[in-house]
Structure 1
Amino acid sequence: MAIRAYRKRALWAAVLAVCTAAVTLVAQPASAAVTCDVTYTTNDWTTSPGNGGFTANLTVRNTGDALSSWNLGFTFPNSGQRVSQGWSANWTQSGANVTATNMPWNGTLASGATLSLGFNGTWSGSNPKPTTFRVNNVVCGGTPSPSPSPSPSPSPSPSPSPSPSPSPSPSPSPSPSPSPQPDGFVRIAPTSVLVAEGGSATAAVSLSLQPTSNVTVTVSKQSGGDADLTAAPTTLTFTPANWNVPQTVTVSAAQDADATGGTARFNMSTSGGGVFYFSSPLDATEADDDGTTPGNEYIQRFTSLYNKIHDPANGYFSPEGVPYHSVETFLVEAPDHGHETTSEAYSYYLWLEAVYGQVTGDWTKFNTAWASMERYIIPSTQDQPTNSFYNASSPATYAGEFDDISAYPSQINSGVSVGTDPIAAELRTAYNTSDIYGMHWLLDVDNTYGFGRCGDGTTKPAYINTYQRGPEESVFETIPQPSCDTFAHGGRNGFLDLFIKDSNYARQWKYTNAPDADARAVQVAYYANEWAKAQGKQSQIASTVAKAAKMGDYLRYAMYDKYFKQPGCTSTSCPAGTGKNSATYLLSWYYAWGGATDSSAGWAWRIGSSHNHGGYQNPLAAWALSTQTDLRPRSSTGASDWATSLTRQLQFYKWLQSDEGAIAGGATNSWQGHYATPPSNLPKFHGMTYDWQPVYHDPPSNQWFGFQAWSMERVASLYYASGNADAKTILDKWVSWAMANTTINANGTYQIPSTLRWSGAPVASWSSTTGMPPANPGLHVTVADHTTDVGVAGSYAKVLMYYAARANHTGAKNMAKALLDGIWLNQDAKGVSVPETKADYNRLDDAVYVPPGWTGTMPNGDPINSSSTFLSIRSFYQNDPDYPEVKAYLDGTGPAPTFNYHRFWAQVDVAVAMGEYGRLFPNG
């Protein structure tokens, strides 16, 4: 049975700064009202000097009221641009003016919904992008045309219009005859595939409408495509009986000796049936394997998983292109719903597309992933509007954390001294803004809860938060709340007075960063940069890599104590920090920031975290930010801080390394979360007290082997990239322990560690800035049980392969290969998965602590009071298709439910492991 830890974010302080004077205001959206967003991307090619063709793909997002029909209009900047063939709309062009109207099957466009359409075109002279788009005669992101539609509803972040390109005034030209109106369309899933060199990929084809007689679909390759890519069969026959039964088109890539990939487009035309069908094309991209023969099996596996993850039918992404935490909706672990997402998932999205760029040479998808992350999970200026009022000499007001949830709400106490923030001014100078450039950790992608964006109730994705009440608060005891609390939901003071006790409450916004995710994004940017350089394409991702460096600059907030107090605190009266003496130079569990929604209130706050977990460190990111020119932070001290952090993190690993080799929990500067006096027998790391279960206790934070695999993958990446000797010393011992506790069976199946048990402590305190701590003969780990978890196994395999590639360790290489082969035995239609029995779901009807007398409601009307349970404030789960199996278990009439989950991070960890093994060991 796979046992998953609830990877809680200790977010208990994200609402701890509140204004001391009550403020009355009307809830406002986080950004200006618009009707629509349109993104327009092209793939251009040249047919002769000054002439060429292109494919344009458009995504239209309706941010206003629901539409029952629509038309999209824009004007080409160049008179030489023409639409030749389009899909998912009726396309017409008059002069430079282009109009697309809905098909019979896609005219309804709900509020917040998106649609994709596109066309093939030709150009002469140049091919600049249109600058303005209109839906139903309303300019997207701007002012309505003379025939306006009804007023749109608010949108969080309209897409900027592309910069105009100068061109001559368009000449009028006759309007072409409109194409006949199609009755149906050819369904293709997916519409793009990645094909490994020497391998193949498939797409399912069917019809949307029953014909009156047989229909022939002809598959033809568009001229100019890569000759290595072919499709078969070239004709498909659908009858009035099997018209909606998918038939398979297989695209194959020939094995050759070159080291480049290629692309091809396969068009589909229909004849017969008495029905006019429209069809979009099938695009194929070759993933090169550097000419190995007879083909790189692991690159082929990467392409197979990549296609499954990107297949819309499998449901890994929302209509907005946001990766879900999991395909399945009924999933309760760290996120409390599968269709939430995390900054963790976004960092894995980047990793998937980085490996795609490595195997294809196409970096547009990597840039797209970062752009999506920036749009949806990095708060915009409108989402964090009052940062300019932040006072670095008074970052936040103290409120303690407590083990017992019943100790909440926690009293605000301005009498406890807080230190100064030493990096705010240099960040503002470096980037000319007071905004924070970091991901918030949790999004309600589909707005399942109904908070919307800043209280509007409708906008999605929506920023939300959960954990707020100490280390004993499991996911089953959380009360979700909006990140922008305008008191539109919850109780009299929104949700604030569930967590914080004060005389007055103010409407506010607040976000919490999970540093391991931002650090992973930096790590991935390093890999992408190196791979793009090797291809001569670094310029294509230079601006994205610069954003990763910026993210790393702000990530330094994770190096500081929660209230910027100096390390060594044993009471609330311990010294406040000045300069950088409150820095630990480790990656703590979170940093958070917030402020008033009312600009006249004039306040904002920032905090770090006092708790440091071994599983969150990322020495590869520290090394990249301190040594790599393209990733060098712009601030005056960013690179030097990360250089210090690199040494400190490696010391931390060594100080926490057990006698067997596994890495123990961590250390805290705030015992029990309120600077209590720690037990005198516990050793300290640079003043912070050893804690075998830092941050959360239900379940213990370091019992999950996944933290070992994730963290050691970063150490192994550092060793592989730089040859760091200290990293090798740590890995030598860890790899030996992990391999000794891994079983590869004769039939190819595997067992890896799952639950860990700990005893003892580091041998001594450590405070030196140089050298490495001694061994720990009295600190021990035992493996309580094992698992076949595919995601953890994929990450673990990466540890072994990076280590093996640098150390030339044949045993580690062979075990990595065996794990990947074993994982591949668990393929299914959506990826790879194993059955998981969720006995912990017996807690779904556990009571959720609500302070006596407190009452409120969730946006859907679910009451919040002393009788609330996890499920009672999440009544939407009763409509989930998996609910009957769960309910039978809760009622005692059925066994613990068993599901095959497809977590986004797990699928990507496996896909990346396959791709990286193919790169590192191309001959198997």
Structure 2
Amino acid sequence: MPGALATALVAALLPATPAAAAVACSVEYNVTNEWGSGFTADVSVTNEGDAVPDWSLGWTFPDGQQITNGWNGEFSQSGDTVTVNHPGWNPDLDPGETATVGFQGSISGANGEPTGFTVNGVDCGGTGGNAPPEVELTSPADGAAFLAGDTVELAADAADADGSIEHVEFSADGTVLGTDDTAPYTYSWTDAEVGPYSLTATAVDDGGAETESAPVAIEVLSAPALVASPSSLSVRQGDSGTFDVSLSNEPSGDVSVEVARTEGSEDLTVSGGAELTFTGDDWDEAQEVSIASADNGGDLGTAVFTASAEGYDAATVEVREVDASTSDYETAFLEQYEKIKDPASGYFREFGGLLVPYHSVETLIVEAPDHGHATTSEAFSYYLWLEAAYGRITGEWEPFNDAWESMEEFIIPGTEDQPTNGAYDPSAPATYIPEHDTPQGYPSALDNGVSVGEDPLAQELSSTYGTDEVYGMHWLLDVDNTYGYGFCGDGTDDAPAFVNTFQRGSQESVWETVPHPSCETFDHGGENGFLDLFTDDGTYSEQWRYTNAPDADARAVQVAYLAHQWAGEQGNAGAVSESVDKAAMMGDYLRYAMYDKYFKEIGDCVGATECAAGSGKNSAHYLMSWYYAWGGALESAQYPWAWRIGGSSSHQGYQNPLAAYALSEVDALEPDSATGTEDWATSMDRQLEFLQWLQSAEGGIAGGATNSWAGDYSAPPAGTPQFYGMYYDWQPVWHDPPSNRWFGFQVWGIERVAQLYHETGDERAGAILDDWVPWAMANTEVGTGGDFAVPADMEWEGRPDTWDGTSTGNPDLHVEVVSHGQDVGVAAGLAKTLLYYAAESGDAEARAMGEDLLDALLANQDELGIATEETRADYRRFADEVYIPEGWSGEMPNGDPVEPGSTFASIRSFYEDDPAWPEVQEYLDGGEVPTFTYHRFWAQVDIATAFAAHDELFG
């Protein structure tokens, strides 16, 4: 029933009590499209009564409809009953507010309208049931420190509006310490060992409902210590700066502290607070130390200042002079840089003097990486960017070169990681394996009957660089060896380990993945390791395989170009020349991302057997695809072999015309191969055309295109628009959630266009920005006191016109921003885009909004960086089942069984030991949606480089 409309209206006024607010709502259900076996629909719920916190919408399907994917909420379905939990950006429905969710579903006959709409599990006019209790951990204070042997006194306030408190549990890192069933609720912890702890209190009411308090962080020390904050400081030459000193614990008497320079430049001196005294009354009140820089116009210096006291562990602060003309935003960059690089912050792990960035400081976080202490090639590219910006400001380029060395050492597979490339046959790059829509279609059988094209790059690259190896990053690294696979899957080394997750079709979300080693030795998993979860083959061999994320490698090239430019302006291009040379080589290999997956001809490629095998470069689309990959047998195999594949699908957010410009127009970055420069010149033009083709009538950039519809060269729907013979796809590659729904992909891609525009004045880039910038600004708000709202989720309608070399404006392609949020990384990327555009175009409004966003970010500072709270309703999916075929069984390295019925959490039982797990467990048990504050490495670097960009562009 296309366009069918059902409206459920209930208006019930209940007595207002603290236990449950009056529930009154209206629900509108609208089928927006329907075809033979499926349909899409929108559901809008309007709050007609009091505010509804943590809203959840439910209904019942009458005809067995099944939801296949949804947006603007977290969907789950049991039989005919559907539950949609609010998205993280919109937890509460205010009076009069309307929230709209959408979904795609499957049908096998009738498609009747749902019935029984509910809010928060009850009818709209219902009572709301038992209200959960309230609880707050009032002691100890957040950040408190204790000495080993001290008693830690815990106390909590708890109340229940519609009943009574049964008891309160006190926990440390999720382990219950004790309970109290009588107010005031207290517990004395007498045997705390040395280390950091996260303390919580959980109140349980007489109806069985329970609530966990916000956590309080404490630390138990082996000895008292002095505390200095921050641990590093930048001071304008001729000016002064301050840091704070305090005691970790209450002293038994007065404590005299001396602060003195212990090494470094004599131009930096203690100008105040050289002698401090702490008493039992003020020991926890920080006292200020002032550091003065000599106004002598000499060379900029650094020094280390040490706070010391008898019986206390000392604290040190590194102080650096910066030029007196340093802008406020440059100072903001240096402060953010110092937080990121401070070892105490936890953004990096050190291996042999080299730093490896984590995905986030926090460990419990599930996104594309499924653990916070994994890392990605994306993070390494941002690490390079951080150090390049630092080099521009300070003239110090060793940290940039160290970042490239770390990338080369840890996330670019070395000789021992890819040992059998010499067996690779470019005339037969790989055996065809069709992709499937869902994980249930796997393992997928190899098909030797489908012809594949020739690889035109391999011989050119091996002759140019004297090796058969590939110089590109693998996308995912287990930094702490959390899974336990270790080097080459042997499980014996705690050094970073190459791992992989996504392997089973476009509908496989991170919540449905099985983490596995990139080096498959059959030591873990099942009889064939994990291979037979993905491919169906007669025999299986021990092997290695790596997947490249082209946007990360392209960003590394982009940053190397910026470092080359900035160092050159300082007359010091030689300081980065070796790293820049390696970036040019990386760009040479990155051309694999320009090719169809199986090197088939580009254009009208329909039918795996009918689509012609490519020869020469007619299998190149010259765009940045979603991936390229390579692999081969381990040296222990009886017969060595190797393979390589390109990527048939290209996403707008992966394009990087600035990197293409650098690799085709900048001498220092032109690849050494015979055709690399020419290919990148073609790619630069093709990428800009691609973005013009995908630009909607409003200005947003639609998804992308593919040369292999559905991943198996199927025929696309009739009339699908084309770009150089490739087919338009509004959500290329990744469908859960749709890959072009997140506004961050808009910013990541268009920021590079803005930088290209600033660097070259390219009119095509300027034209794209002229439409994109006003649309983005119209959907962005910046308030006061750190309030801001940037686009979060988008919905797409219609399609572009087939590309004929000239933009039509795409009157039938439309985008709507359907939600907003406070993603600090996206806000920083948007600010950079606006500033680069303003610097070239002179657009004063774009510059003003860019600066307003920077100021809003500065107002959200904390001790680790800049962050805002996030609700994670998607964490309900910790309980999602991971598809495992019937009859398959195996084990993770820690013994977690992998079998039919396994869930995301059950094969990652280590999460149960995470300090943040109790909040997730409570949510899974029916509690409130958990709220976290995350410090993602890429986002913190995006913020730092946004400050640096303003300094670069406007001083």
Q: Bin the TM-score by the shorter chain.
A: 0.7 to 0.9
3-state DSSP of counterpart to 1:781: strand
Alignment of 1:400-439 (within 5 A): 400-439=434-473
Offset at residue 845 of structure 1 (A): 0.4
Offset at residue 848 of structure 1 (A): 0.5
2:730 corresponds, among 686, 692, 696, to 692
Offset at residue 199 of structure 1 (A): 7.3
Alignment of 1:598-747 (within 5 A): 598=635, 600-745=638-783
Conservation of the 8 A alpha-carbon contact between 2:881 and 2:904: yes
Q: Counterpart in 2 of 1:595?
A: 632
TM-score, normalised relative to structure 1: 0.75
Conservation of the 8 A alpha-carbon contact between 1:196 and 1:299: no
Cα deviation, 1:194-251, whole Å, max 9, x if unaligned, reads 4456876666667899999866554334676273676643334567999999766454
Q: Could you tell me which amino acid in structure 2 is paired with residue 310 of structure 1?
A: K
Q: Counterpart in 1 of 2:924?
A: 890
Offset at residue 344 of structure 1 (A): 0.7
Q: Counterpart in 2 of 1:908?
A: 941
* Alpha-carbon distance in 2 for matches of 1:261, 1:739: 43
Conservation of the 8 A alpha-carbon contact between 1:670 and 1:676: yes
Conservation of the 8 A alpha-carbon contact between 2:600 and 2:612: yes
3-state DSSP of counterpart to 2:879: coil
1:297 corresponds, among 320, 328, 332, to 328
3-state DSSP of counterpart to 2:799: coil
3-state DSSP of counterpart to 1:653: helix
* Alpha-carbon distance in 2 for matches of 1:201, 1:878: 43
Distance 1:700 1:204, change over 3 A: same
* Alpha-carbon distance in 2 for matches of 1:209, 1:337: 34
Conservation of the 8 A alpha-carbon contact between 2:634 and 2:640: no
Q: Counterpart in 2 of 1:25?
A: none
Distance 1:303 1:588, change over 3 A: same
Distance 1:261 1:773, change over 3 A: farther
Query: Structure with the greater relative contact order (CA < 8 A, sep ≥ 6): 1 or 2?
Result: 1
Conservation of the 8 A alpha-carbon contact between 2:360 and 2:936: yes
3-state DSSP of counterpart to 1:689: strand
Provide structure 1 residue ranges, at least 5 long, that are not aligned to the other structure: 5-107, 109-182
Cα deviation, 1:146-168, whole Å, max 9, x if unaligned, reads xxxxxxxxxxxxxxxxxxxxxxx
* Alpha-carbon distance in 1 for matches of 2:596, 2:238: 53
Distance 1:454 1:764, change over 3 A: same
Conservation of the 8 A alpha-carbon contact between 2:420 and 2:632: yes
Q: Could you tell me which amino acid in structure 1 is paired with residue 932 of structure 2?
A: F
Q: How well do the aligned residues superpose, as a CA RMSD in angstroms?
A: 2.7
Conservation of the 8 A alpha-carbon contact between 1:262 and 1:360: no
Q: Alignment length, in residue pairs?
A: 732
Conservation of the 8 A alpha-carbon contact between 1:478 and 1:870: yes
TM-score, normalised relative to structure 2: 0.73
* Alpha-carbon distance in 1 for matches of 2:817, 2:648: 29
Alignment of 1:576-595 (within 5 A): 576-595=613-632
Offset at residue 323 of structure 1 (A): 0.9
1:545 aligns with 2:545: no
Q: Counterpart in 2 of 1:489?
A: 524
Cα deviation, 1:380-436, whole Å, max 9, x if unaligned, reads 111111111111111111101110221100001111111111111111122111111
Q: Counterpart in 1 of 2:790?
A: 752
Structure showing the higher strand proportion among its residues: 2
1:813 aligns with 2:852: no
* Alpha-carbon distance in 2 for matches of 1:582, 1:776: 28
* Alpha-carbon distance in 2 for matches of 1:492, 1:317: 36
* Alpha-carbon distance in 1 for matches of 2:784, 2:855: 12
Q: Counterpart in 1 of 2:612?
A: 575
3-state DSSP of counterpart to 2:650: strand
* Alpha-carbon distance in 2 for matches of 1:287, 1:362: 12
Q: Counterpart in 1 of 2:429?
A: 395
Conservation of the 8 A alpha-carbon contact between 2:305 and 2:319: no
1:862 aligns with 2:896: yes
* Alpha-carbon distance in 1 for matches of 2:224, 2:788: 48
1:520 aligns with 2:555: yes
Distance 1:723 1:244, change over 3 A: same
* Alpha-carbon distance in 1 for matches of 2:589, 2:376: 18
Conservation of the 8 A alpha-carbon contact between 2:264 and 2:304: no
* Alpha-carbon distance in 1 for matches of 2:274, 2:394: 25
3-state DSSP of counterpart to 1:578: coil
Q: Could you tell me which amino acid in structure 2 is paired with residue 307 of structure 1?
A: E
Segment of structure 1 superposing worse, 204-213 or 499-508: 204-213
* Alpha-carbon distance in 1 for matches of 2:526, 2:778: 54
Offset at residue 537 of structure 1 (A): 1.7
Q: Counterpart in 1 of 2:596?
A: 561
Provide structure 2 residue ranges, at least 5 long, that are not aligned to the other structure: 1-86, 91-193, 195-222
2:882 corresponds, among 834, 838, 848, to 848
Q: Could you tell me which amino acid in structure 2 is paired with residue 632 of structure 1?
A: E
* Alpha-carbon distance in 2 for matches of 1:387, 1:247: 61
* Alpha-carbon distance in 2 for matches of 1:906, 1:546: 28
Q: Counterpart in 2 of 1:799?
A: 833
* Alpha-carbon distance in 2 for matches of 1:445, 1:223: 34
Aligned sequence identity (%)? 55
Cα deviation, 1:869-912, whole Å, max 9, x if unaligned, reads 000001111111111111111111x1111111111111111111
Q: Could you tell me which amino acid in structure 1 is paired with residue 934 of structure 2?
A: Y
Distance 1:774 1:820, change over 3 A: same
* Alpha-carbon distance in 1 for matches of 2:415, 2:230: 36
* Alpha-carbon distance in 2 for matches of 1:380, 1:3: 42
Conservation of the 8 A alpha-carbon contact between 2:879 and 2:903: yes
Cα deviation, 1:642-701, whole Å, max 9, x if unaligned, reads 110000000000000001110000000111101111112111111110000001111110
2:379 corresponds, among 329, 345, 358, to 345
1:875 corresponds, among 896, 909, 915, to 909
Q: Counterpart in 2 of 1:330?
A: 364
Distance 1:255 1:411, change over 3 A: farther
Q: Counterpart in 1 of 2:260?
A: 220
* Alpha-carbon distance in 2 for matches of 1:514, 1:656: 21
1:364 aligns with 2:398: yes
Offset at residue 564 of structure 1 (A): 0.7
* Alpha-carbon distance in 1 for matches of 2:941, 2:654: 19
* Alpha-carbon distance in 2 for matches of 1:880, 1:466: 21
Conservation of the 8 A alpha-carbon contact between 1:199 and 1:300: no
Cα deviation, 1:119-142, whole Å, max 9, x if unaligned, reads xxxxxxxxxxxxxxxxxxxxxxxx
Segment of structure 1 superposing worse, 219-228 or 367-376: 219-228
* Alpha-carbon distance in 1 for matches of 2:473, 2:784: 44
Q: Could you tell me which amino acid in structure 2 is paired with residue 377 of structure 1?
A: I
* Alpha-carbon distance in 1 for matches of 2:561, 2:853: 26
Q: Counterpart in 2 of 1:451?
A: 485
3-state DSSP of counterpart to 1:318: strand
Q: Could you tell me which amino acid in structure 2 is paired with residue 227 of structure 1?
A: D
Offset at residue 263 of structure 1 (A): 2.4
3-state DSSP of counterpart to 2:487: coil
